[in-house]
Chains A and B, each alone.
Chain A
Amino acid sequence: MTTAQPLIQARGLVKRFGDFTAVDGIDVEVRSGEAFGFLGPNGAGKSSTMRMVGCISPPTAGELRILGMDPVRDGPAIRARLGVCPQLDNLDPELTVRENLTTYARYFGIPRRVARARAAELLDFVQLTERADSRVDPLSGGMKRRLTIARALVNEPEIVLLDEPTTGLDPQARHLVWERLFRLKQQGVTLVLTTHYMDEAEQLCDRLVVMDGGRIVAEGSPRALIQRHSTREVVELRFAAESQEPFAGKLDGLGERVEVLPDRILLYVHDGDAAVAEVGALGLTPANVLVRRSSLEDVFLHLTGRTLVD
């Protein structure tokens, strides 16, 4: 484990379904102990990539090695060392919380006694001990998600795959999930996750790739991506008028980039306050001014566009 060999290594990885190319030749390396994110709009190929890494979907072309093994030939041996938290919970609603963990543990050949002990430990970890003997059906969405995460940990995996781990959760539940995932990372577990949420990616990921149309369009740490693809600060101006368009023309040349949205204008600049002063000097009086730091969301929208993808 001290070798620098990446846990997951993909070269020219392709997944096609008939004529449709879901993943179009991506190169990815995930190193031991890091949290790695796949970002991208719907249909970008994130989930297809995750399924290939989860060894349940054979690649159409390219090379994929996981834990040094070939996912097509050594599927079960690799899956024995992975934890998978799917996009949609697939717990058994009729079983109890505890039974969901102990029955799953048996698929890994974990002896019954060990499975019971580990289930208790994991329920404590995801704060579900009090619900151990209740059925899964009436649990809240956040509880189910935590149980799914606990189930993914039942074999003490080296890599945990999380497909949109907090989609649909309320803010409290999201923060609890983040905190638990952060703890796992501290313990040296490698996390691979997909997400729509930029704050989630900024919170959790050491490195990430942005995917669009099956390709990787950017790669790096959240901070490096912001530096490379956006400015330090963003000024949001809102003018009290039907259309923001007429004002935009006057702002040309201010900052690195001006983006006009239906309800506001974004100025991508190095120094927000200086830019606001320049706007004032131009004699413009926006109804609303907000200066903020550039976020991963700015990068994401810049790279993948604002058009709705369905």
Chain B
Amino acid sequence: MVDGGRGGGGLVSVTQQARERARPALPRVPAAAVFAYHLVGYRRTWRAGVFSSFLLPTLTVLGFGLGVGAYIDQGVGGVRYFDWIVGGLLASTALQVAIAESTWPVFSNFRWIKTYFAQSAAPLRVPDVLGGHLAFVLFRVLTSSVAFLLVVVLFGAVRSPWALTLPLVVVLLGLAVAAPTFAYAAVVDSDSWLAMLFRFAVIPMTLFAGVFFPVESLPVALRWLAYVTPLWHAVDLCRAATLGIAAQWSVAGHLLYLGAWALGGWLLARRAFRRRLVL
């Protein structure tokens, strides 16, 4: 199509009556409209996403569970290594998705495509913009985790119906790590800080928070670092649920600890978003 030309261009009916008729009652749940926006973008890429969310856990489970597991004859505490590791891998998958979805996408919505600013000009408030995007991240965490669960169920690695509670656990973990990451991605001024987050937080957490080996194998000082991470709490819950055993720590304690991260993260993110969006 050529720019210019005088044809076409029907009149837009912006007469007073039309305006009155069109005056919408504002969305009942504004954050739902924001969530819907993120879903529309996702619709374009979800096929590739589905493929990787099945393929990746399959490869991981095969590599670590069967490959590494073959060298671990006695298992962990009497449990076959393959069965022992799936709970941890589930939690770490949820963590990876949650952080990947709340680093560059959030940064871009401020810096590159500026979606948040477009949304702020509409009748949305800061918590709507933030909450709608967070809801989408949790949706991604949930669908990826369910895909992972389906794969490991096929491998016969899930031993307890308690596994049905796992979607709630991964969503809570997702919120506990995504909310503070939203705050972080909102305040950093260059995207190289996002890569640092992976290098210095996500990877060490994944390695030392009890996903691949029990935290008890670590020296005491490092053990406490593992206990501080939100990941370890989710790993313990996930492992207890897939194996049908008691958690190492109080379940309520785990949930409260993750809840505290989620709440603290939300408050930080709301403040960071407000500073960027309301000038």
Interface residues of A (CB under 8 A from B): 1, 17, 51, 54, 56-58, 75-77, 79-82, 84, 86, 88, 90-95, 99, 103-104, 106-110, 114, 121-122, 124-131, 140, 142-143, 151, 153, 155-156, 158, 170, 172-173, 175-176, 179-180, 183-184, 187-189
Contacts and interface: CB of A to CB of B under 8 A. Distances in A.
Contacts of B30: 76, 107
B16 A188 contact: yes
Contacts of B124: 76, 107
B1 A125 contact: no
Contacts of A122: 12
Given A51-B279, A103-B36, A79 B9 contact: no
A125 B11 contact: yes
B60 to A, nearest CB: 29
A110 B11 contact: no
B42 to A, nearest CB: 10
A49 to B, nearest CB: 12
B4 A107 contact: no
A126 B8 CA distance: 9
Contacts of A1: 16
Interface string B1-43: 1011110111111111011001111111010011011001100
11 contacts: A56-B120, A57-B278, A90-B117, A103-B37, A107-B122, A107-B124, A127-B1, A143-B3, A172-B3, A176-B5, A188-B15
A79 B279 CA distance: 16
B22 A156 contact: yes
A128 B9 CA distance: 9
Given A156-B14, A188-B14, 6 more contacts: A77-B26, A90-B118, A103-B40, A104-B122, A127-B8, A176-B4
A245 to B, nearest CB: 44
A90 B22 CA distance: 25
A76 B125 contact: yes
Given A1-B16, A76-B124, A107-B122, A127 B26 contact: no
Contact of A56 (B22, B114, B121): B121
B123 A107 contact: yes
Chain B interface mostly? loop
Contacts of A103: 33, 36-37, 40
Interface residues of B, number: 46
Q: Nearest 5 CB-CB pairs, A to B?
A: A107-B122, A90-B114, A76-B123, A109-B27, A109-B24
Given A99-B40, A158-B19, A125 B10 contact: yes
Contacts of A110: 22, 24
Nearest to B35: A106
A75 B124 CA distance: 9
Contacts of B44: 94-95
Contact of B113 (A86, A90, A173): A90
A173 B125 contact: no
Contact of A106 (B6, B19, B36): B36
Contacts of B114: 88, 90
Nearest to B1: A130
Contacts of A90: 113-115, 117-118
B96 interface: no
Contacts of A131: 1
A90 B109 CA distance: 9
B277 interface: yes
Given A103-B36, A156-B22, A173-B4, A84 B14 contact: no
A118 B215 CA distance: 58
A80 B12 contact: no
B119 interface: yes
A148 B123 CA distance: 17
Contact of B27 (A82, A99, A107, A188): A107
Contacts of B27: 106-109
B49 to A, nearest CB: 14
B176 to A, nearest CB: 28
A184 B13 CA distance: 10
Contacts of B5: 127, 176
Contact of B37 (A91, A106, A142, A184): A106
A61 B244 CA distance: 62
Interface in B128-185: none
A190 to B, nearest CB: 11
Given A57-B279, A143-B3, A176-B4, A107 B119 contact: yes
Nearest to B124: A107
A151 B278 CA distance: 21
Contacts of A82: 121
B3 A170 contact: yes
A77 B9 CA distance: 30
A180 B24 contact: no
B10 A155 contact: no
A291 to B, nearest CB: 32
A156 to B, nearest CB: 5
Contacts of A140: 3
A13 to B, nearest CB: 15
A156 B18 contact: yes
Given A109-B25, A127-B5, A79 B12 contact: no
Contacts of A108: 24, 26-27, 122-123
